[in-house]
Amino acid sequence: MTASAILTNKGALSLGEFLVWSSLGRTKALEEIAAGRLHAVKVGRRLLIPVEAAQAWLAAQPRAAFVASEEASQGRASLRH
Query: CATH number of the domain that 10 lies in?
Result: 1.10.10
Task: Give the pLDDT band of residue 48 (cuts 50, 70, 90).
Answer: very high
pTM of full prediction above 0.85: no
Instruction: Reply yes or no on whether the pLDDT at 70 is more than 70.
Output: no
Q: Where does residue 54 rank: exposed (0-12), middle (13-18), buried (19+ CB within 10 A)? A: buried
Q: What pLDDT is attached to residue 10?
A: 85
Q: Between 66 and 41, name the one with better pLDDT.
A: 41
How far is 29 from 49, CA to CA, in rounded Å? 10
The count of structural domains within the chain is 1
Instruction: State the chain's mean pLDDT as an integer.
Output: 85
37 lies in which domain range?
A: 3-66+75-80
